């Protein structure tokens, strides 16, 4: 598990935005992962996708790493943000925009506004 923990830490430290998910950004393997990847893709956020289904060690390792029981898990600039429900709420409230602005992550502000308008 130590090797997996080290790998996870390197992924989180080495990428501005990392999404640990079931499947990949192009082929998500669950609805929750699909939703978060879809939001990031639509907003034009450059992110590293990590398929936790690639190994049992990664699937359990990310849960142990964050002390969070579910996947997907979003990290921005090394900080754990949350899972699908939290990312959805942050997107709709504008908090995700604020986080990206504060951390210098590039995203499409018009796309973020369109998501909110479509869900108003």
84 belongs to an annotated ligand binding site: no
Question: Are 105 and 45 in contact, with CB atoms under 8 Å apart?
Answer: yes
Sheet holding 17-21, edge to edge: 48-51, 17-21, 73-76, 79-82
Q: Which two tokens stand for residue 60?
A: 């359990």
Distance of CA 90 to the CA centre of its chain: 12
Per DSSP, the three-state class of 39 is: helix
The three-point CA angle 119-100-29 to 5° equals: 60
Which residue numbers belong to the known binding site for [2Fe-2S] cluster?
30
């Amino acid at each position: 598990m130590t090797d997996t923990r080290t790998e996870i830490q390197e992924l989180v430290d080495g990428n501005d935005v990392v999404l640990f998910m079931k499947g990949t950004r192009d082929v998500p393997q669950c609805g929750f992962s699909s939703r978060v990847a879809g939001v990031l893709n639509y907003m034009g956020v450059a992110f590293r996708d990590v398929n936790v289904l690639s190994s049992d060690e990664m699937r359990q390792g990310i849960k142990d790493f964050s002390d969070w029981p579910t996947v997907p898990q979003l990290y921005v600039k090394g900080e754990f943000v949350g899972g699908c429900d939290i990312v959805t709420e942050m997107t709709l409230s504008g908090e995700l925009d604020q986080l990206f602005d504060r951390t210098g992550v590039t995203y499409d502000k018009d796309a973020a506004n369109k998501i909110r308008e479509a869900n108003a």
